[in-house]
Amino acid sequence: MKIKNKCALITGATGGLGTELCKLFAKDCKKLILLARNKEKIDHLEKKLKSLNAQIRIESHILDLSDGKAVKKTIEAIKTSNKNIDILINNAGIGTHGSLFSSNTEDVEKLMDLNLRTPLLLTLGLKELLYASDESYLVNIGTVAERIAMPVMGAYSVSKSGLYMFSRVLAIEGRKNNLKVLHVTLGPMNDKNFDSNLLTKGGLKKNTVFKTAIDKVARKIILGIRDNRRHLTVPFYFSGLICLDRLFGRTLDNFKLRMFKQKIKTNN
């Protein structure tokens, strides 16, 4: 899919990966719709994007994406001001660390809302705008933890697994309306808010976490859209780890328990 003169919506626009995606899209897109919760950060981002492309149109919405009512209100506002959306990127997300049974109920509810419920609401609520394009692309940002069960990232893994299956189902159902789906399975990035931070908080030593530069991840996502990819794993070698986990799950589960044993004891 060509990105030139497209309209793209990006959630979590002021976060690390969201910002990098915005900067890349700004160079070619005719319009960006930005969703984030911090007005000061989004104002700063708008100025940055305008410096990259003075002609680009930017529509920003300030909201808490874990708030269902705010999301529905924003959907109606977007439908009023736009005739179509070519690219929808569900990038916003949060994570928790700790064993599943030690998780706080309120934290789990917020995590499920932001990581799974909101992408569903946005995609379903904006489907008419996606279908109005000659071709459209949905991009869901996932994680290796959706495919490999980690004992200190239980609730996070559950939410992202749901997002992964949402991508798989919609990739089939969306064909009749020229809607393509790209699911991105990410390993740790050099982002303080992403999986690498979750793993180190979970008990893994920092020097054992291999991180990918955020700008490199953003470029690979852009290439994935241009090449009409359905699935992308970054870094690519995590595909091998996922296969190993499927083949030798029980053995690797024992290894994970030993690796995070102290943290699991603390949480339980």
Q: Is 245 exposed, middle or buried (0-12, 13-18, 19+ CB in 10 A)?
A: middle
Q: Which CATH number fits domain 7-267: 3.40.50.720, 3.90.1300.10, 3.40.50.620, 3.40.50.300?
A: 3.40.50.720
**Residue 196 has what pLDDT?**
45
Most confident range, picked from 90-99, 137-146, 149-158:
137-146
- On the question of pLDDT at 206 being above 60, the answer is no
Phi-psi region of 92 (alpha: psi -120 to 50; beta: other; left: phi over 0): beta
**Residue 188 has what pLDDT?**
86
Of 18 and 95, the structure prediction assigns the larger pLDDT to 18
Comparing 33-42, 141-150, 184-193, 234-243, the range with the smallest average pLDDT is: 184-193
**Residue 195 has what pLDDT?**
46
Mean pLDDT along residues 257-266: 63
**Residue 143 has what pLDDT?**
94
- Give the DSSP H/E element, type plus range, for residue 185: strand 179-186
**Residue 85 has what pLDDT?**
98
DSSP-derived secondary structure for 94-145: ----B-GGG--HHHHHHHHIIIIIHHHHHHHHTHHHHHTSSSEEEEEE--GG
What does pTM read for this prediction? 0.90
pLDDT band at 153 (very low <50, low <70, confident <90, very high): confident
**Residue 101 has what pLDDT?**
80
Q: What percent of the chain has pLDDT over 90?
A: 72
DSSP-derived secondary structure for 222-245: HHHHHTT-SEEEESTTHHHHHHHH
